[in-house]
Copies of this chain bind each other. A is one copy, B any other.
């Protein structure tokens, strides 16, 4: 991932409405959510939300498909993973003893232990 792409993704997420919408979509999984439902759940106006979903889309964090009159938005897990990987990329080369991914890995392993593929 390029620094430019990382900055686009980080600025897209650095906004209350967009971060809220994105996390909602992360929870929603592959089924996604229609724009109107996101607007209702995040308590935002249709036009403002639409602008924000466009920003998330351009940053590669979500994608969308039309279904009848609704447009369904879905989180893009791959680009989210790329962003996280970019942020921790050089962590190990410095001080392995305080390596963030290692600690994170342990926490996640514990948290996801009961789930099927985590």
Contact = CB atoms under 8 A, between A and B. Distances in A.
Contacts of A91: 26, 77
Given A88-B84, A105-B108, A95 B29 contact: yes
Interface residues of A, number: 50
A90 B16 contact: no
Nearest to A25: B94
Contacts of A111: 92
Contact of A7 (B14, B28, B30, B85): B14
Copies of this chain in its oligomeric complex:
2
B3 A16 contact: yes
Interface stretch (A45-53, A63-71, A96-104): A96-104
B116 A97 contact: yes
Nearest to A9: B14
Given A3-B20, A11-B11, A27 B108 contact: no
A26 to B, nearest CB: 6
B90 A77 contact: no
Interface string A57-88: 00000000000000000000100110011011
A112 interface: yes
